[in-house]
């Protein structure tokens, strides 16, 4: 599906949903001449009309709607820019609709742990993680506003076990699965990478994407819940009290994953706070809009991993519980 007149095979890109970053990527891919469709479940229209804003310039974009997974080509590349808690239900939905057994999925969400058990049951899926520092927000359902330019990295999905904790048996099993599936190794970039990188640079290949995901986890664990609890923009975290909490959170994360350095994490968090001082984090926006947050995949994930490894994570556990209490008050979380 999809060839230029001169015969070069095109990659078919399917962007899932109308998340802020997903719409920006759809615009970028379309602008670079790629074949893009939008998977939207709650629309009957054959064409979905989007708006994207960059540097105060509003642009309109009409994309064909992908009605179900079976309508996409077998070699389609799926871009899943979703909330962490949305990932597993979405994967189940796509598989139920006939998603290809060897589907290529690019996944981007905050936190760790989302849909891992389900993904482990699909050894032939080609799963890639994308980490980005681009910022965007939704003005409405079909209008994305670019808040700030950053950079992105992508790499082959790896088990989220901390370095040094994965058993040799599981490593051998993973290697055997990759070999039998005929997939590329984790160190080899896929054939479509250049097209994705050209659409919205800079995008770099990272063969060790898992450690980058952990570093982003630390940044989100330090900023999102603390700014949400403070009820203000990220700049409120420049206080001495907030700095102490940030260090405690980062030290606990570095204890859970010894490949990380706490001082480096703290420095990275402070850099992001300076760059986004006037921004309201996504978690605060979720609470204010009475939407579920990603806390279970942020500090909640760190707390869970600490308990499994018998590593002290009291601060992360306390922060996670305080956000869950806010969710209870807003009615988006029920007592378990």
Q: Flag whether 86 is in a domain.
A: yes
> Which of 187, 207, 227 is where one domain is finished?
207
Pair (282, 177) in one structural domain: no
Pair (138, 266) in one structural domain: no
Task: Tokens for 66, please give them.
Answer: 């992908």
Asked if residue 252 lies in contact with residue 313, where contact means CB atoms within 8 angstroms, the answer is yes
298 burial type by CB count under 10 A (0-12 exposed, 13-18 middle, 19+ buried): buried
Pair (63, 110) in one structural domain: yes
Asked if residue 190 lies in contact with residue 184, where contact means CB atoms within 8 angstroms, the answer is yes
> Which of 185, 207, 229 is where one domain is finished?
207
Q: Flag whether 7 is in a domain.
A: no
Pair (167, 40) in one structural domain: yes
Which CATH number characterizes residue 172's domain? 3.40.50.720
Pair (20, 57) in one structural domain: yes
Report d(CA 253, CA 160) in Å as an integer: 14
Running DSSP on this structure, what letter comes out for residue 162? P
- Strand 47-54 with 57-66, pairing: antiparallel
- The predicted pLDDT at position 186 comes to 61
Task: Tell the residue number behind the tokens 């609470």, with chain if given.
Answer: 287
Domain count, the chain: 2
Q: Flag whether 95 is in a domain.
A: yes
**Distant-in-sequence, close-in-space partners of 86: CB < 8 Å, separation ≥ 6:** 109
Domain that holds residue 219: 211-329
Pair (157, 233) in one structural domain: no
Element (H, E) at 127: strand 126-132
What pLDDT digit, counting tens, does each position of 221-247 carry?
999 999 999 999 999 999 999 999 999
Pair (62, 176) in one structural domain: yes
Most confident of 164-173, 265-274, 275-284: 265-274
> Which of 207, 227, 255 is where one domain is finished?
207
Asked if residue 12 lies in contact with residue 77, where contact means CB atoms within 8 angstroms, the answer is yes
Q: Flag whether 5 is in a domain.
A: no
Report d(CA 92, CA 45) in Å as an integer: 23
Average pLDDT over residues 140-162: 86
Pair (103, 140) in one structural domain: yes
Place 185 in a pLDDT band, splitting at 50, 70 and 90.
low
Task: Tokens for 321, please give them.
Answer: 């519980």
C-alpha distances (whole Å) from 28 to each of 83, 189, 199 are 21, 20, 5
Q: Flag whether 3 is in a domain.
A: no
Q: Flag whether 4 is in a domain.
A: no
Pair (59, 186) in one structural domain: yes
The pTM score is: 0.88
Mean of all residue pLDDT scores within the chain: 89
Place 179 in a pLDDT band, splitting at 50, 70 and 90.
very low
Pair (220, 157) in one structural domain: no
* CA angle, residues 124, 126, 131, in degrees to nearest 5: 150
């Amino acid at each position: 599906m999809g060839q230029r007149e001169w015969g070069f095979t095109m990659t078919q890109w399917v962007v899932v949903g109308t998340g802020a970053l997903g719409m920006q990527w759809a615009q970028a891919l379309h602008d670079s001449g790629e074949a893009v469709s939008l998977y939207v479940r709650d629309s009957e229209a054959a064409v979905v009309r989007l708006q994207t804003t960059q540097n105060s310039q509003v642009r309109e974009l009409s994309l064909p709607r992908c009605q179900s997974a079976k309508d996409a080509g077998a070699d389609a590349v799926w871009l899943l820019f979703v909330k962490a808690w949305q990932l597993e239900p979405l994967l189940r939905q796509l598989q139920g609709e006939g998603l290809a057994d060897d589907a290529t999925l690019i996944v981007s969400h905050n936190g760790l742990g989302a849909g891992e058990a389900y993904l482990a049951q699909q050894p032939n899926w080609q799963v890639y993680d994308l980490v980005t520092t681009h910022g965007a927000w939704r003005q409405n359902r079909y209008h994305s506003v670019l808040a700030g330019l950053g950079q992105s990295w992508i790499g082959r999905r790896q088990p989220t076990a901390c370095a040094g904790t994965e058993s040799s048996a599981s490593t051998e099993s993973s290697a055997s699965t990759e070999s039998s599936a005929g997939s590329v190794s984790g160190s080899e970039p896929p054939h479509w990478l250049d097209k994705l990188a050209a659409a919205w640079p800079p995008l770099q290949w990272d063969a060790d994407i898992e450690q980058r995901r952990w570093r982003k986890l630390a940044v989100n664990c330090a900023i999102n819940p603390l700014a949400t609890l403070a009820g203000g923009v990220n700049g409120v975290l420049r206080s001495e009290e907030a700095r102490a909490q940030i260090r405690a959170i980062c030290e606990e994360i570095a204890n859970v994953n010894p490949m990380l350095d706490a001082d480096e994490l703290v420095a990275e968090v402070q850099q992001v706070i300076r760059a986004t001082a006037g921004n309201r984090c996504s978690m605060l926006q979720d609470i204010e809009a009475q939407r579920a947050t990603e806390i279970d995949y942020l500090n909640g994930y760190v707390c869970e991993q600490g308990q499994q490894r018998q590593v002290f994570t009291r601060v992360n556990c306390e922060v996670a519980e305080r956000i869950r209490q806010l969710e209870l008050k807003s009615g988006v979380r029920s007592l378990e």
